[in-house]
Amino acid sequence: MELNKFQELSKRTMPLQGEPKNHIHKEHGITNYALGLIGECVEVLSAANDREAILKEIGDVSHYAFGLLTFLGEIYEPLANYTVEGTKESIINKIIILSGEISEQVKKFVFHRHELNSSKMILALKMLIQNLIVLAEMYDSSFEQICKMNIDKLKLRYPDKFNVEDSKKRVDVTS
């Protein structure tokens, strides 16, 4: 799945389909997706020794990262001068550090009433995504395939669009 297509399809399950109507909607969307991002990044860390689990978590992190780009009005483009190197562990650490930097920007914007430093967030998000791409390859998977699996999961969970009841049911999860 082409990554900009993934970003577009992800809007289906975003609040207001990723189109905030006002500043409050934008704040809520950015806050929700920043919290989701950092939570899913921690799940990547906890799943590092289980290939199937980490691929699912990479998909979940991707959903939140691309969703934040959407709320920031940005279409994903890879960074030309950013190279990802290291072990699985060091790349996972970079992903967690980047998610922490993103959440710090959101905290300052929403709760401390600073101007949103969207360029810093966008840079961190793009770096995070490029780390996810390399991490997927390290687990012998295609990032595009992981994104497709994430969209398929979300379509199963939310047949029409996001709603609270489907979020609670989680029909895609087997106990």
Q: What parts of the chain have a pLDDT lower than 70? A: 1, 174-175
| Per-residue pLDDT at 175 | 57
pLDDT reported for residue 164: 86
Q: What is the pLDDT of residue 20?
A: 87
For 94, phi and psi rounded to 5 degrees? Answer: -60, -40
- Give the model's pLDDT for residue 13: 87
pTM, full prediction = 0.92
Q: Are 14 and 31 in contact (CB under 8 A)?
A: no
pLDDT of amino acid 35: 95
Q: What is the pLDDT of residue 133?
A: 97
